[in-house]
């Protein structure tokens, strides 16, 4: 959990927002069902950032990572928590042949940072 110098609790996942680049080398739409959900990925250098969001229906997605280059990546994943303002963070090692499992809450989403090892 992150806190300001005044002791105010910041939102879960703030470290992701602070690390996200403001310009991109490449953008891809990975999955979309108009009006239902979208998963997109953006690349800066060797690192990728994935964003996913859902309509009012909660869903579990399997996102192919075949757009990744060779090698291993550390995937830091922030998914919806039990409360609307919370997020659950987890890390895995991923490669291009993997499928990333994301759980999206109703009207929720997930973000992923994929850093090349």
- Residue pLDDT, tens place only, 91-104: 999 999 999 999 99
DSSP 67-116: TS-SS-EEEEEEEE-SSTT-EEEEEEEE-TT-EEEEEE-TT-EEEEEEEE
Please tell me what DSSP assigns to residue 30: E
| Dihedral sign for Cα atoms in the order 46, 99, 85, 27 | positive
| 62-109 pLDDT per residue, tens | 999 999 989 999 999 999 887 767 788 999 999 999 999 999 999 999
Burial degree of 25 (CB within 10 A; 0-12, 13-18, 19+): exposed
Its pTM stands at 0.87
> Is 1 inside any structural domain?
no
> Is 75 inside any structural domain?
yes
Q: Count the domains in the chain.
A: 1
> Is 4 inside any structural domain?
no
Structural domain span for residue 46? 14-116
> Is 31 inside any structural domain?
yes
């Amino acid at each position: 959990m992150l806190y300001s110098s005044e002791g105010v609790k910041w939102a879960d996942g703030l470290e992701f927002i602070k690390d996200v680049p403001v310009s991109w080398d490449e953008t891809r739409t990975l999955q979309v069902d108009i009006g239902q959900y979208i998963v997109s990925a953006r690349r800066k250098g060797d690192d990728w950032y994935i964003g996913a969001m859902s309509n009012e229906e909660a869903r579990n997605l399997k996102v192919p990572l075949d757009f990744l280059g060779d090698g291993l990546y550390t995937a830091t994943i922030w998914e919806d928590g039990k409360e609307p303002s919370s997020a659950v963070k987890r890390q895995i090692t991923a490669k291009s042949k993997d499928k990333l499992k994301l759980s999206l809450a109703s009207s929720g989403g997930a973000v992923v940072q994929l850093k090349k090892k």
